[in-house]
């Protein structure tokens, strides 16, 4: 079977060896504010915080060919005209064979290290996707080009370190062109409002000389950075993107070559590429020279042109920095003071040592590095157009030496060493280990950062952060950087309404709820309990519950976070339908089961169409199960708060002197438990279909997901949630439902969402039946909900079954990469199901709740290492063939080395536990006492 790459676990990399992957296989750069998506050929884009409102570079989704546009390098090697030493002249064809294989007088060889966009056949190619970095290496005719792409920590810029190495025995003269295309900030209007866009584009070009100009100084701390009077960094050539800067924007972007001199540049796309060429053959590259174009409207780009000579064996590094900066309103523009050149004005003629480029008459380089138009300002007229570049200069100076770049890269790698050292497993199964120790955790960080906003399937212009999505994502991430999870919980809760309902999504930049979609998704509130409890169990930080959090971000409406949890719980209790099951509202977890929608208009979106919930009888068994599961967490939390003196004290503080916090929490726990018990009874009575749990009741009160239905007889969500919640465990319901999942939903590639698939449109069910059979929510293998059933299997103590389901959707077990199509190192949202035309074909990779859920599943339910309010609970549910494994787990200030032994080949059940050599009770949590501990568990 054809493979396109392999795992390099030691370096925590996936190595792609064939650039023509079945789909672009991407990676993510950055993990805090500045982000990039990068494919294995260098495609993709960058943005700051919000992929819609602050798109920095342009990208065209669904282009032909696929994945066109990105950060590109073109390398051009001229064929020598005369036969070099050792070369021969072929008399029959006037061509001269150079030793490198280039043909004399023939067209130059033009190639790209990532194969694309030139697609010149390479002599070697390799792409290594690592933890927030990507290294792409290509070679051609004895020259190797290797580019390392990453975003340094706490930096609003992507750094690209290009290393050119001459591996041949002869001198190489190369021409290097960099390339990136600017997006006009708003990624949505950038692709539609051309009547405006094609007139607004503006750039600045800055070229600082290599030697210190008169009045300039040399910064001794960074040997290569010479401060020119304007603050520009010596030697750097920087192209600034400043569209709309003179009006309401206070941000700009830049692309700098920081450590070498560029001999030219381009900033206008048409001048560089040509109207009838494309990314693969830009006319400037074809001609072997830049046009030094200055963009005015149309499409601004940034390209550097560098001439490089390499002796045999020689290697040279070129550092490019693609950054973003924001200026305070009063400091937006260059001021006269900072512009004052040595004599108070910049010379009009080319300064000594500098040249005037005749082809670009407007770019006259002053010693300060000011260019063309900028000179006007330099001369004193304060027109409000020239960017104050202080911030860019600082970043450019910081990354102007290879040493500094390497150190920043090292820092990034160390951060990942730290993040990935909190939970590691050694099981003897390399697939399991690589998922747990590397890729599953990495994907959890990515889903935490991006929710469902920006991938090669999510265009970045649609959804922002989802209420339910983000709560689920943080459960997979909380052990990595708890403080960021804490802030996220507060941000999410701030979009709630006083009745416990909430906005379904919010924009990351503004943190405000998104009015286009609004609220009314009745599962949403429960997820806040799920996320918050996971945070507290990880950190022991109960103080988060005392945080004052507003409703709908309105100042003055603040109540404690605990109160937000209470109203979340009650939102379900207050919205019950005719069977006393939870009303579904617009939709529950399955956005496509639209029971109150009734849409016949193809021009409306199922997501935002009118909500006809008024008078509806539509109820959800998925929410019922979710309510029981998260409700139990809420009860457990209340009981814990009742026991804790700080919990009681906080209650007293919030409710006045004399109030008895402990009693109040216990009362609340009892009340909540009563609601849960009632729900359990209702599910048993009205939610059981004989062999599995029903899925829902529709608007009219008819069953959905029942053997009585013509199609869609069984659904996975209610099986997952009701088995996880253990509803009817004692009556055999859980086992039966799990068996039905195997019988009706399972196939070679995982469990499908529903069965049989819908073959026609059902207006009373909405979008689910809009999809062709086997795809997406209509009987696709929606990976997100497979782990729910797997956890259900562990509730039923069926370790072998849990394991089998786990390995079916786990990337490390993918057999046929060509069929699977998307990245073999991360989960995808959906794999085409058994009813599809091509079962097993994956789609929507990266941004899926599958990452967090599988992390939870494998670490807490299969390996069974579970944080509790007091410490760790150990409860493995594993395949009987797994005889032992070791887990290293950092929890708060405690560090555990846990050895689990399974001498009798059991699937679950612990016989004994020793902590630091002493026997401890099996069903008590191991306290997270600061320091190192060893734990031995015998099953
Ligand atoms: C997508 C959405 C998620 C939803 C799921 C099922 O993954 O991000 O919110 O629950 O689809 O429709
Ligand atoms: C579509 C998708 C679903 C997703 C929803 C979010 O309905 O099928 O997976 O959750 O859009 O808007």
**DSSP conformation letters of 597-638:** T----TTS-TTTS----TT---EEHHHHHHHHHHHHHHHHHH
Separation of 584 CA from ligand 2 center, angstroms?
16
Least-confidence region, from 150-154, 338-342, 685-689, 845-849: 338-342
> What pLDDT shows up at residue 337?
43
Q: What 3 state SS string does 399-453 have?
A: CCCHHHHHHHHHHHHHHHHHHCCCEEEECCCHHHHHHHHHHHHHHHHHHHHHCCC
| Span from the CA of 193 to the centroid of ligand 2 (angstroms) | 26
Q: What is the largest CA-CA distance in the chain?
A: 106
Q: Is the peptide bond preceding residue 117 cis, with omega within 30 degrees of 0?
A: yes
Ligand 2 pocket check for 517: Cβ under 6 Å: no
Q: Name the residue at shortest CA distance from atom 7 of ligand 1.
A: 848
Is pLDDT at 784 greater than 70 in this prediction? yes
Residue 88: pLDDT band (50, 70, 90) is low
pLDDT score of 796 more than 70: yes
Q: List pLDDT tens digits, range 385-413.
A: 899 999 999 999 999 999 999 999 999 99
Query: Tokens 């507060």 belong to which residue?
Result: 490
- Beta strand 143-150 with 157-166 is antiparallel
- Measured CA to CA, the distance from residue 438 to residue 420 in angstroms comes to 7
Determine the pLDDT at residue 214: 62
The mean pLDDT of 436-460, rounded to a whole number, is 96
Q: Are strands 871-874 and 315-326 parallel, antiparallel or unpaired?
A: unpaired
Q: How far is CA 838 from the centre of its chain?
A: 27
- Residues contacting residue 765 through CB under 8 Å, at least 6 positions apart: 593, 594, 595, 698, 704, 712, 758
User: Could you read off the pLDDT of 680-717 as tens digits, one per residue?
Assistant: 999 999 999 999 999 999 999 999 999 999 999 999 99
Q: Is the CB of 592 under 6 A from ligand 2?
A: yes
Q: What is the pLDDT of residue 797?
A: 98
pLDDT tens digits along 162-188: 999 999 999 999 999 999 999 999 999
- Alpha-carbon dihedral sign for residues 617, 622, 623, 628: positive
| Confidence check: pLDDT of 234 > 80 | no
The predicted structure's pLDDT at residue 347: 32
Ligand 1 atom, smallest distance to 829 CA? 7
pLDDT class of 80 with cuts at 50, 70, 90 = low
- Contact indicator for 153, 408 with CB cutoff of 8 Å: yes
| pLDDT higher than threshold 60 for residue 344 | no
Tell me, what's the pLDDT at 341? 40
Tens-digit pLDDT profile for residues 885-917: 999 999 999 999 999 999 999 999 999 999 999
Contact present, 792 and 628 (Cβ < 8 Å)? no
Query: How many degrees, rounded to 5, is the angle at CA 498 between CA 492 and CA 500?
Result: 65
Q: Ligand 1: which of 584, 591, 622 to mutate, most ligand atoms within 8 Å of CB?
A: 591
pTM (whole model) above 0.75: yes
Residue 466 alpha carbon to ligand 1 centre in Å:
9
Average pLDDT of the chain is 91
CA nearest neighbour of 913 among 858, 870, 865: 865
**Ligand 1 site, residue 829, Cβ cutoff 6 A:** yes
**Is-cis flag, bond preceding 113, omega within 30?**
no
Residues in contact with 82: Cβ distance below 8 Å, sequence separation at least 6, in sequence order: 96, 104
Q: How far, in Å, CA of 563 to CA of 834, rounded?
A: 45
Give yes or no for residue 126 CB within 6 A of ligand 2: no
CB-based burial, 659-677: b 16+ in 10 Å, e otherwise: eebbebbbebbeebbebbe
Query: What residue has token string 């309401």?
Result: 248
Q: What distance in angstroms lies between residue 548's CA and the mean position of ligand 1's atoms?
A: 29
The answer to whether residues 495 and 553 touch, using CB atoms and an 8 Å cutoff, is: yes
Edge-to-edge, what's the strand order for the sheet holding 865-867?
Answer: 865-867, 871-874, 926-927
- 931's torsion region: left (phi>0), alpha (psi -120 to 50) or beta? left
As a whole number, mean pLDDT of residues 667-692 equals 98
- pLDDT of 238 > 60? The answer is yes
pLDDT category, 516, cuts 50, 70, 90? confident
In this structure, of 267-271, 421-425, 649-653, the range with the lowest mean pLDDT score is 649-653
Decide whether any atom of ligand 2 lies within 6 Å of the 746 Cβ. no
Q: Is the pLDDT of residue 213 over 90?
A: no
Q: 818-854 burial, b if ≥16 CB within 10 A, otherwise e?
A: ebbbbbbbbbbbbbbbbbbeebbbbbbbbbbbbbbbb
Instruction: Give the span between the Cα atoms of 130 and 738, in whole angstroms.
Output: 37
Q: Is the dihedral of CA 65, 69, 73, 79 positive or negative?
A: positive
- Closest-CA residue, ligand 2 atom 11, reads 591
Q: How far apart are CA 296 and CA 427, in angstroms?
A: 60
Using a 6 Å cutoff on CB, does residue 467 contact ligand 1? Answer: no
**Cα–chain center distance at 400:** 28
Q: How far is the CA of 477 from the centre of ligand 2 (A)?
A: 23
Protein residue with least CA distance to atom 6, ligand 1? 590
Q: Quick one: pLDDT band at residue 367, thresholds 50, 70, 90?
A: very low
**Structure letter (DSSP) for residue 768:** G
DSSP 14-33: EEE--S--SS--EEEE-SSS
Closest CA to 770 of 577, 609, 585, 581: 609
Please tell me the distance between residue 876's alpha carbon and the centre of ligand 1 in angstroms: 29
Region 476-503: mean pLDDT is 97
Non-local CB neighbours of 777 within 8 Å, separated by 6+ positions = 590, 591, 592, 593, 753, 754, 767, 768, 771
**Averaged pLDDT, 192-212:** 88
Q: With 90 as the cut, is the pLDDT of residue 86 above it?
A: no
Segment holding 471, helix H or strand E: helix 467-477
- Of the candidates 241, 262, 259, the one whose C-alpha atom is nearest the C-alpha of residue 251 is 241
Q: Rounded CA gap, 52 and 597, in Å?
A: 28
Strand partners, 549: 559
CB pairs under 8 A, 24+ apart, for 138-142? Answer: 138/111, 138/112, 138/113, 138/114, 139/167, 140/75, 140/77, 140/109, 140/111, 141/77, 141/100, 141/101, 141/102, 141/109, 141/168, 142/100, 142/166, 142/167, 142/168, 142/169, 142/170, 142/172
pLDDT value of position 922: 84
- Is the CB of 607 inside a 6 Å radius of any atom of ligand 2? yes
How sure is the predictor about 660, in pLDDT bands with cuts at 50, 70 and 90? confident
- The number of beta carbons lying within 10 Å of the beta carbon of residue 20 is 12
Contact 229, 338 (CB under 8 A): no
Please identify every residue annotated as catalytic: 591
Nearest bound ligand to CA 771? 2
Does the CB atom of residue 830 touch ligand 2 within 6 A?
Answer: no
Q: Which atom of ligand 1 is nearest to the CA of 849?
A: 7
pLDDT at position 653: 75
CB of 300 within 8 A of CB of 198?
no
**pLDDT band with cut points at 50, 70 and 90 for residue 105:** low
Task: Tell me the CA distances in angstroms from 299 to 36, 52, 699, one per residue in order.
Answer: 21, 18, 51
Distance CA 294, CA 363 (A): 9
């Amino acid at each position: 079977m054809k493979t396109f790459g392999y795992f390099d676990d030691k370096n925590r990399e996936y190595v792609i060896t064939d650039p023509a992957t079945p789909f672009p296989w991407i990676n993510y750069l950055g993990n805090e504010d500045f982000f990039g998506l990068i494919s294995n050929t260098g495609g993709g884009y960058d943005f700051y915080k919000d992929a819609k409102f602050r798109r920095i570079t342009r990208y065209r989704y669904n282009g032909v060919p696929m994945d066109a546009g990105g950060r590109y390098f073109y390398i051009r090697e001229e064929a020598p005209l005369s036969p070099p030493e050792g070369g021969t002249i072929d008399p029959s064809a006037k061509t001269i064979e150079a030793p490198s294989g280039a043909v004399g007088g023939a067209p130059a060889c033009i190639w790209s290290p990532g194969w694309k966009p030139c697609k010149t056949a390479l002599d070697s190619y390799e792409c290594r996707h690592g933890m927030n970095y990507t290294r792409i290496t290509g070679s051609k005719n004895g020259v190797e080009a290797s580019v390392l792409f990453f975003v340094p920590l706490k930096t609003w810029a992507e750094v690209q370190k290009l290393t050119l190495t001459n591996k041949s025995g002869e001198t190489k003269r190369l021409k290097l062109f960099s390339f990136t295309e600017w997006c006009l900030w708003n990624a949505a209007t950038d692709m539609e409002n051309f009547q405006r866009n094609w007139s607004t584009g503006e750039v600045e070009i800055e070229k600082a000389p290599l030697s210190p100009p008169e009045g300039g100084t040399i910064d001794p701390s960074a040997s290569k950075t010479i401060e020119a009077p304007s603050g520009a960094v010596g030697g750097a050539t920087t192209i600034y993107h400043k569209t709309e800067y003179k009006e309401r924007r206070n941000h700009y972007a830049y692309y700098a070559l920081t450590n070498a001199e560029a001999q030219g540049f381009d900033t206008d796309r048409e001048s560089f590429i040509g109207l009838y060429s494309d990314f693969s053959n830009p006319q400037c590259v074809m001609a072997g020279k830049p046009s030094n174009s200055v963009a005015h409207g149309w499409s601004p780009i940034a390209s550097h042109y560098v001439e490089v000579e390499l002796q045999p064996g020689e290697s040279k590094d070129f550092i490019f920095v693609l950054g973003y900066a924001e200026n305070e309103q009063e400091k937006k523009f260059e001021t006269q003071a900072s512009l004052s050149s040595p004599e108070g004005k910049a010379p009009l003629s080319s300064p000594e040592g500098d040249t005037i480029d005749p082809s670009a008459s407007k770019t006259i380089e002053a010693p300060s590095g000011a260019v063309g138009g900028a000179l006007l300002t330099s001369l004193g007229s304060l027109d409000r157009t020239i960017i104050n570049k202080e911030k860019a200069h600082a970043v450019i100076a910081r990354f102007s030496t290879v040493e500094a770049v390497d150190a920043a890269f090292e820092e990034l790698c160390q951060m990942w060493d730290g993040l990935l050292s909190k939970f590691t497993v050694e099981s003897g199964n390399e697939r399991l280990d690589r998922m747990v120790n590397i890729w599953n955790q990495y994907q959890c960080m990515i889903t935490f950062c991006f929710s469902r906003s920006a991938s090669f399937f999510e265009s970045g212009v649609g959804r922002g952060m989802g209420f339910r999505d983000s709560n689920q994502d943080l459960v997979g991430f909380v052990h990595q950087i708890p403080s960021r999870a804490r802030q996220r919980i507060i941000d999410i809760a701030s979009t709630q309404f006083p009745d416990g309902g909430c906005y379904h999504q919010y924009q990351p930049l503004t943190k405000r709820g998104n009015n286009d979609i609004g609220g009314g998704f009745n599962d949403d509130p429960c997820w806040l309990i799920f996320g918050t409890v996971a945070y507290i169990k990880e950190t022991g930080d109960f103080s988060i519950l005392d945080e004052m959090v507003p409703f709908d971000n309105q100042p003055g409406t603040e109540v404690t976070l605990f109160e937000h949890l209470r109203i979340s719980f009650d939102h379900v209790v207050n919205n019950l339908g005719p069977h006393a099951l939870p009303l579904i509202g617009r939709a529950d977890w399955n956005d496509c089961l639209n029971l109150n929608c009734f849409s016949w208009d193809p021009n409306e979106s199922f997501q935002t169409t009118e909500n006809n919930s008024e008078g509806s009888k539509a109820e959800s068994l998925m929410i019922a199960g979710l309510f029981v599961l998260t409700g139990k967490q809420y009860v457990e939390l209340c009981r814990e708060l009742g026991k804790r003196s700080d919990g009681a004290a906080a209650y007293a503080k919030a409710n006045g002197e004399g109030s008895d916090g402990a009693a109040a929490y216990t009362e609340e726990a009892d009340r909540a438990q009563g609601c849960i018990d009632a729900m359990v009874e209702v599910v048993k009575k009205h939610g059981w279909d004989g062999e599995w749990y029903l899925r829902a009741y529709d608007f009219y009160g008819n069953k959905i997901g029942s053997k009585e239905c013509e199609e869609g007889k069984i659904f996975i969500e209610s099986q997952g949630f009701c088995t996880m919640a253990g509803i009817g465990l004692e009556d055999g319901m859980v086992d039966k439902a799990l068996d039905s999942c195997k019988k009706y939903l399972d196939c070679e590639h995982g469990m499908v969402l529903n069965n049989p698939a819908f073959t026609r449109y059902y207006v009373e069910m909405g979008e689910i039946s809009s999809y062709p059979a086997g795809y997406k929510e209509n009987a696709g293998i929606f990976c997100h909900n497979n782990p729910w059933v797997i956890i259900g299997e562990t509730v039923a103590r069926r370790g072998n079954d849990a394991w089998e389901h786990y390995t079916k959707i786990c990337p490390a077990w993918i057999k046929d990469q060509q069929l699977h199509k998307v990245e073999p190192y991360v989960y995808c949202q959906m794999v085409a199901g058994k009813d599809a035309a091509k079962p097993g074909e994956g789609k929507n990779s990266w941004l899926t709740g599958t990452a967090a859920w599988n992390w939870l599943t494998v670490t807490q339910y299969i390996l069974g290492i579970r944080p509790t309010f007091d410490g760790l609970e150990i409860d493995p549910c594993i395949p009987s063939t797994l005889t032992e494994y070791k887990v290293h787990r950092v929890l708060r200030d405690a560090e555990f080395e846990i050895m689990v032994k399974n001498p009798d080949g059991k699937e679950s059940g612990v016989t004994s536990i020793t902590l630091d050599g002493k026997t401890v009770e099996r069903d008590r949590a191991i306290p997270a006492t600061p320091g190192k501990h060893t734990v031995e568990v015998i099953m």
